[in-house]
Structure formats: C-alpha cells, structure tokens
Amino acid sequence: MAPARAEILARAEAAYLGLALGDALGATVEFMTPREIAREFGVHRDITGGGWLRLKPGRVTDDTTMSLALGEAIINDRGEVRALSCARAFDAWMRAKPVDIGNTVRRNLVAFRRSGDPEAPPSEQDAGNGAAMRVLPVALASFGRPEAEVRVCVRAQAHVTHHNAMSDAACEFLALALQDFLRGDSLREVFLRRVQPLVTAHPAFAFRGRPRREYPSGWVVETLQAVLQSFIDVGGFESCLVDVVNRGGDADTTGAIAGMLCGALYGMAALPPRWLKALDPKVRAACSDQARSLLGPC
C-alpha cells in the first residue's frame, strides 16, 4: 500500500532539515583533517559554528542556501524545474554575497551573466559536488513523476553550474534514492536498486573494499564515497552524520548530503533535538515550508 501523504511529507521535511543540520554540523570542521579534528574536539558532535567561515552557531553555508534559492525558483514556477529560472535564482543568490561559494559555481554563474545561456558548457573538470549538494528540492518537486522525467529535471538544475557526467550520475542517483526513501523503501531495497547500479556503471564511486575515505575533497566521487561509507556501513541519523563530518575535508557538503539521505530514510523522530534547537530558526522554518510546497499534493 502506498504511504499516506502525511508520511511522505514528514520524510521530505526530515530530509530538508537533515541537509541543513549536516551542513551546520560539518561547517565547523570543513578543511580540517581527521587528526586535527580529534585534537581539537575529540569527536565533533555538536552544532557550534566557528570553522574557517567563523559561522555563528546554527548558521548554514552554500549547500543549504543554494538549495533554498533553487527551491524558491521551483515553487515560483509551480513545481517545474526550468534551467533559466534556476540560473537567475543562483545569480541573485550570488549577488547577495553568500558566506561561501564554490569556484565552479562562481565561474559558470559569471558566464551566465555574460551569455544569458543557463546551461554551462560540458566540462571534464567540473566534477565537483556543487550540483549534488543542492539536488533535494528537485527530488521533492519531481516526486511521483516517471524516472526519465526526474532525470531531465535533475540535469536541468545541475547543468547551470556543473555539466559533467560524474556530477550527473551522482545527482540522478541521489534524487532517485531520496524519492525511494520518501516512498518508504528500505535501505536494502535502495542499495540493490540504486547504489549497486551506480557503482557498476561508474566504478570510480566504489566505496567498499577500499580504505576509509578520509579528508574527502570537493570532487563528487570522493564526496559520495565518504557519504556512502557512513550512510550504508555506519547508519543511524546522528551516528552517520557524526561519522561523515569527522572525516573532515569538505565536511559541510558530506554532512549535507548524508543528512538529506538520513532524513529521508529515518524520518523526523531520528533528528537529534539538540541539533534542531541549535539550527538557525529561520533556516529551520524555510526548510519545513519548502518541503511542503515542493512536494505539493503528490
């Protein structure tokens, strides 16, 4: 039996809050090595702000704010994912001087300002995690549509800044896995239906039989390896997020991606109350509101 909308909505809201919580948790230790984190925090497990961005406790970074900018554009387009609207929303987001911005995002948004073309040129180099980190609003807006349509929506938003096959593979995998979890599918089902085919099609993403991926870079392959090792082989909402951000490196983004997956799988009850309390209340409200609007009547 298909789950009721209320159940799907609760998992969607947990995914959006999970993204923000993982971002806020990880930002403190972004660009640190596991050894540096251990020396300073023992285990980093609380939302305390700081880090290289000197964030106030509970503040989030580009992972969450770009997702919210994208979500707003999709809501304004009544649930459609239009590349031009996405590009304009990201451009407005960049003009508002965000706390941080990735190099690929900046370069291709500057190119959009000049050309007016919302699709970045294909690039072997643009395999960063910047499109994957903000895929959640598209997964929510395209929930219930045929898989081929979901993939088209995912690429429309991704190609504004990242026109790259590995980025596409990661973004499509994440959106489809998130939708499976919203429907109530188990981790085992999603492992067989989404994770294994991803690794078969793109062996670079293999995360088992390899050393623990520590200090993951912004390369989407390393990002996803770290996330999958924590999400599948550690599990649990809090334990997964703590495990992934304590690897350091691009910890706000590994936290954000792990957070959306964990939220969709484990639901609202799994979100640690102390983390929700620490999260910027405006961000918390925006995530909840957007989850509801993006999902629509479904």
Q: Smallest gap, in angstroms, from Cβ of residue 246 to Mg ion? A: 17
Is 123 strand, coil or helix? coil
Q: Which residue do the tokens 């964990």 mark? A: 262
Q: Which residue do the tokens 């040129």 mark? A: 121
Long-range contact set of residues 276-280: C-beta below 8 Å, sequence gap at least 24: 276/17, 276/21, 278/24, 278/46, 278/47, 278/48, 278/57, 278/58, 279/17, 279/20, 279/21, 279/24, 279/47, 279/58, 279/60, 280/24, 280/58, 280/59, 280/60
Q: Smallest gap, in angstroms, from Cβ of residue 58 to Mg ion? A: 15
Please report whether residue 168 would count as binding Mg ion according to CB under 5 A: no
Cβ-based nearer residue to Mg ion, 13 or 62: 62
Cβ-based nearer residue to Mg ion, 130 or 267: 130
Q: Are 230 and 258 in contact (CB under 8 A)?
A: yes
Contact characters 73-102, Mg ion, x per CB under 5 A: ------------------------------
Amino acid at 83: A
**What is the rounded distance in angstroms from the CA atom of residue 131 to the CA atom of residue 153?**
12
Q: Smallest gap, in angstroms, from Cβ of residue 77 to Mg ion? A: 25
**What is the rounded distance in angstroms from the CA atom of residue 13 to the CA atom of residue 2?**
18
Cβ-based nearer residue to Mg ion, 177 or 245: 245
Interacting stretch for Mg ion, rule CB under 5 A, among 12-20, 40-48, 62-70, 135-143?
Answer: 62-70
Please report whether residue 63 would count as binding Mg ion according to CB under 5 A: yes
Number of residues lying near Mg ion (CB under 5 A): 4
- Residues 6+ positions from 116 with CB-CB distance below 8 Å: none
Q: Smallest gap, in angstroms, from Cβ of residue 26 to Mg ion? A: 8
Cβ-based nearer residue to Mg ion, 62 or 172: 62
Query: Which residues inside 219-278 make contact with Mg ion, applying CB under 5 A?
Result: 252
**What is the rounded distance in angstroms from the CA atom of residue 10 to the CA atom of residue 182?**
9
Q: Smallest gap, in angstroms, from Cβ of residue 201 to Mg ion? A: 27
The alpha carbon dihedral of 83, 178, 246, 99 has a sign of positive
Cβ-based nearer residue to Mg ion, 137 or 267: 137
Cβ-based nearer residue to Mg ion, 7 or 100: 100
Query: Which residues inside 42-61 make contact with Mg ion, applying CB under 5 A?
Result: 61
Closest CA to 241 of 9, 3, 21, 50: 21
Closest CB to Mg ion: residue number: 61
Q: Smallest gap, in angstroms, from Cβ of residue 61 to Mg ion? A: 3
The alpha carbon dihedral of 88, 220, 57, 293 has a sign of positive
Query: Which residues inside 128-157 make contact with Mg ion, applying CB under 5 A?
Result: none
Cβ-based nearer residue to Mg ion, 255 or 263: 255
Residues forming contacts to Mg ion in the complex (CB under 5 A) are 61-63, 252
